[in-house]
Structure formats: structure tokens, C-alpha cells
Structure 1
Amino acid sequence: MILKNLIGTGAFVALMFTVSAFVHEEKKETATQNISTKNDGFAVLELFTSEGCSSCPPADQLMGEIEKKYKDQPVYILSYHVDYWNRMGWKDRFSSAQNSQRQQEYSNKLGSQVYTPQLVVNGKTEFVGSDRTTVENTISSELNGLNDNKIDLKAKILPKEIIFNYNISQVNSKDKLLITFVEKHASTQVGGGENEGRNLHHYQIVHKQYPVNLSSKEGTATFPIPNNFNVNDWEVIGLVQNTRSGEIVASTKAIVN
């Protein structure tokens, strides 16, 4: 009787060990799957700012800090200087009507107001660009998301133009490729308006953004070289954006040579 009980106990222990090992392996496999599918996202931060706006310098400074903190991760910052502040006593030398139009398009798609400093992340959500906590939380959420679409962008510099070769893993009929020329850093001594007398620092300044219609996954596009462009102080960022929803579905930094 005692022996029988011992045998039964031994079988029970063996059974429990087998079940435990199975559960452990299942958890291990699930964890491996999670590792392979997460942390595959990206974050495109589009800041709408102006040298004439007294609320904008903290947001500009935050973008500089974010750029430094996430320099080895797929976080891409684009600072668009809008032109509607220019009538307030100071003309922003980086401003353009094109930048203001892009912000208006986001306002229409997201149902938001037009204001500065406004930050739009991946074309999906917007908030005040100087809100550090929200910026950090949103970046973390986007980086831990999934991204099924990839883009490869290479550029060759010629004397007066740059030729881009792109390869995109998925193409939707509503998608466009936006090739964006960005100056990494600049400063301005402001002589009027709300920031009169201040020396302002700007980061990831958008100078030109060219749309490319996507009829296939691969292609080339040629654009003129912006004034003062050089590979040390500038970079080129490629975005694939759904023109209907505004969502950015792929992004990368171009390899320029």
C-alpha cells in the first residue's frame, strides 16, 4: 500500500514536472515571438514652430534634446517654421507658406486647431510641442509598436542635384513619398516681435520637402540641391504618408554619398 502510494506520488510529480516544462517552453516561445514583433516601430515628430512665437523656444529646445537622446533609434524630427507669425513684428528666415499649408492639412485631418508650438507624431496624434512628458510617452509607445512597411532610401550627390533611389516594401495607392531636406542646427538673433533680443536655437529645420507619387515599390527621383547643403550639417529624411488619413506608414534617413 505504501509502495503503491509512493509510485502514485512519483507519477504525479513527474506529471507536474512535464506540465511545468511545457508551460515554461510555451512562455519562452511566446516571449521570443514578442521580442521579434515588438520594438519595430518608429516615431516621426513634426514640430510647427516660429521665431515670432514666445511659446516656441522651449519646444525647439526639447526637440534638440530628443534628437540627442534618441540619435541611435528610429526617431525622426522635422521642424517646420510657419509663416503666419511673420506679420507680428519679426520675419522668420526659415518660414514658408508650404510649412503653414502642411500644418493646415493636419488640422483638417485631425480636427485640431492651428497653433504653435504644435507637434504631430506619425501623422496620427497632436499636442503641445513643449509637453515633455507627453512627447516621451508617445515616442515610447510608437517605438514599441509594429511596423510592417520598410523603406530604403539612397542618395547620390551631383554638382547641382541629388538623385534618390528608393525601395518600399509595401505601396498603397494613397501613399506618397516625401523627401525632406533638413538642416540639423541653426541659431538666430531675433530683432523684433515677441522674442526680440533673444538668441534662438533651432533643430532639424525643414528647408524643402518634395512629394513623389508612388506607382511601384522601386524608383528614382531627382531634386535640386538646396542652398548651403552639405552632408555634415544636413540630412535627408524620407517619409511614406497616406494622403487620405495623414498617417505616416514608413520612414528612414537617407544614405547620402
Structure 2
Amino acid sequence: MQTQSHRSSTPREPVRHTRTVRGFALAVALATSGVAQAATSMCTAHSPAHRVALVELYSSEGCNSCPPADRWLGQWKGSGVPDSVVPLALHVDYWNSLGWMDRFSQHRFTERQQSLADRAGGHTIYTPEVFVSGRELRSWSQRDSFEGRVQKVTAEPAQADVAIELAPRGSGTADALDVNARFTARAAGSEKLNAYVAVYENDLTSQVRAGENNGATLHHERVVRQWIGPVPLVAGNARIHQDVALSAFDSNAKAGASTSTSAEQFGVVAFVENATTGDVLQVADLAACR
């Protein structure tokens, strides 16, 4: 397990990061996941009646202990197990100064990781780190521990509903996705709830030429490429509606890989989170239409 270091000669020394709050002035359209059903030009998904576990892996191509965690997350390639587990890989940027620039990294993912840690009363972030429905699980690699946490989450009734609609845009090979997501809280309350949409990509390959993974060929699934939110639920409802240009994510070409980007590599996850505790109340997952 690799802990965070920033501008230090000892990369495994944990360092506290200052938490930053970033807002998004975006219109919201709600999405739900569950079992995807393909239509002629649109696919849809809706969350089930029970709570689904959102699994967030915080990873980095500059971390030599991350590839096993990346492979572990890859077992849920595609739509994962949408009635129980919805996985996402979020690449952080605090290892980029150690010799290898992770092109999938975004500073907002570092901020989210720090925010989740702060809400739980901790201050150290590291890679690989796993959160299940907003709560850290250090023993994620132990099958019984992970399955036990997921079963505990899925045994609870959902406190929110999420629905997703995806429609490809463009002639021939889709070069954009029309993403429409809707979120509804099941009970009115005083707690502040936020909606999020994450666009993920599968089948990504990197040939690492520097840093701790120098010489390795890394394979990634469920990598978050675009993050939309937080969007507050107002009167228990929110909606996120946005066109996502897939051409902006031609990552394998930049990595010198032989495969090219196609709409089938993408999918969308939408979820509702308690803004105070970080608990993920409900999540939906939908692969792009084929």
C-alpha cells in the first residue's frame, strides 16, 4: 500500500493535503443505473429498490503497488454487477512529480479523495485506496471483507432513485454521447444531497517509460474521464443533461497503443451522495449503446 508524498525524496511518507472545495454551475438531469436495456438509438437503466455499492479505487500509474488493485477493479469491466457493485477508477495527480505523468489523473480526484478521508476523521490519503459507498475499506483485497461490506450495503433499502438515458451522437461511429440522468430522494429531509455523473472508459493501455512502473505495460478499466458535479438536489430532485464528446478521450492513440477509441468503450455512472457524511445513497451504471 503506497502512501501519499508531495515534493519529497521519500515517496511513501504520508502528507496532509489542504482540502479544496470546487463547485460546478451545471444544469442537472438525473440518471439511474441497474440493468441496461439497449434500444434502437437509446439505452436506459434504473437503480433497484435496494442500495447499490459504489466502489471508488484511487490509483496512479506512478504507484508501483497500484497495478494489482487496477487488475482487481477490472473484474467488473463493462457494467460491473449493477445490482450490487458499481466500480470506478479515479487517478490522482500527487505522484506525477516522481518521473511519470499519469494522463488519466485529475486534481479534482485528489480533492475528492481528501474530502472523503476528512469526513471520516482521517487526514492521510494514499494509493491504492478503496472507498465503498463513501467509506474507506482498507481490507478490500480480502475477499470476505469486501463481500461483507457490499452485502451490508445492498441489504439496505435505497434512499434515492437514479435513472440514466444514453443516446449516441454522430454518423457511423458515435463521436459523442447524450447523457441524461435523473435523481430523486425517496424521503424529504433537511440533509443536503448532491448528484454526480462520471463518464468512464474501458480497454486503456499505457506503456510506462519512467517512474516506479518503468518498463511495465499497464491495463486499465472503468477509468473516470469526465466528472460532473456536485449538483444539489432541490426539493428532492436533480437532473444532469450533457453531451459528452468522446473524441476528447483518444487516450490509447496518445499512449502509442494499437487500439482506437470507440463508443463501446464508454459508460456512465450516476449517484446521489450525502454532502455532509459522504455516504453514497444510491448509484446506477449504464454502458454506452452498441
| Common topology (TM > 0.5) | yes
Match among 185, 190, 196 for residue 178 of structure 1:
196
Secondary structure at the aligned position of 1:127 is classed as coil
Stretch moving more, 122-131 or 97-106: 122-131
Match of 1:214 in 2: 233
CA distance in 2, matches of 1:182, 1:70: 12
Normalised TM-score (structure 1): 0.75
Match among 86, 92, 103 for residue 113 of structure 2:
103
1:41 and 2:51 correspond: yes
CA distance in 1, matches of 2:160, 2:153: 14
Counterpart amino acid of residue 154 in structure 2: L
Match of 1:154 in 2: 165
Q: Provide, for residues 83-128 of structure 1, a one-character-per-residue CA deviation record: whole Å limited to 9, x for no partner.
A: 0001111111111111111111111111232000000000033325
Stretch moving more, 118-127 or 146-155: 146-155
Residue 179 of structure 1 and its aligned partner are, at CA, apart by 0.6
Q: Provide, for residues 227-253 of structure 1, a one-character-per-residue CA deviation record: whole Å limited to 9, x for no partner.
A: 247531110000111111101011112
Identity percentage over the alignment? 26
CA distance in 2, matches of 1:252, 1:155: 13
1:253 and 2:285 correspond: yes
Secondary structure at the aligned position of 1:193 is classed as coil
Secondary structure at the aligned position of 2:271 is classed as strand
CA distance in 2, matches of 1:145, 1:121: 14
1:199 and 2:231 correspond: no
Residue 71 of structure 1 and its aligned partner are, at CA, apart by 3.2
Secondary structure at the aligned position of 1:51 is classed as coil
Match of 1:62 in 2: 72
1:73 and 2:83 correspond: yes
Residue 147 of structure 1 and its aligned partner are, at CA, apart by 2.0
Match of 1:141 in 2: 152
CA distance in 1, matches of 2:219, 2:177: 28
Match among 172, 177, 180 for residue 164 of structure 1:
180
Counterpart amino acid of residue 59 in structure 1: A
Residue 161 of structure 1 and its aligned partner are, at CA, apart by 6.3
Match among 115, 118, 121 for residue 132 of structure 2:
121
Counterpart amino acid of residue 56 in structure 2: E
CA distance in 1, matches of 2:95, 2:283: 30
Normalised TM-score (structure 2): 0.67
Residue 70 of structure 1 and its aligned partner are, at CA, apart by 5.1
CA distance in 2, matches of 1:135, 1:69: 19
Residue 45 of structure 1 and its aligned partner are, at CA, apart by 0.3
**1:235·1:253 contact (CA, 8 Å) conserved in 2?**
yes
Instruction: Return the index of the structure with the highest Cα Rg.
Output: 1
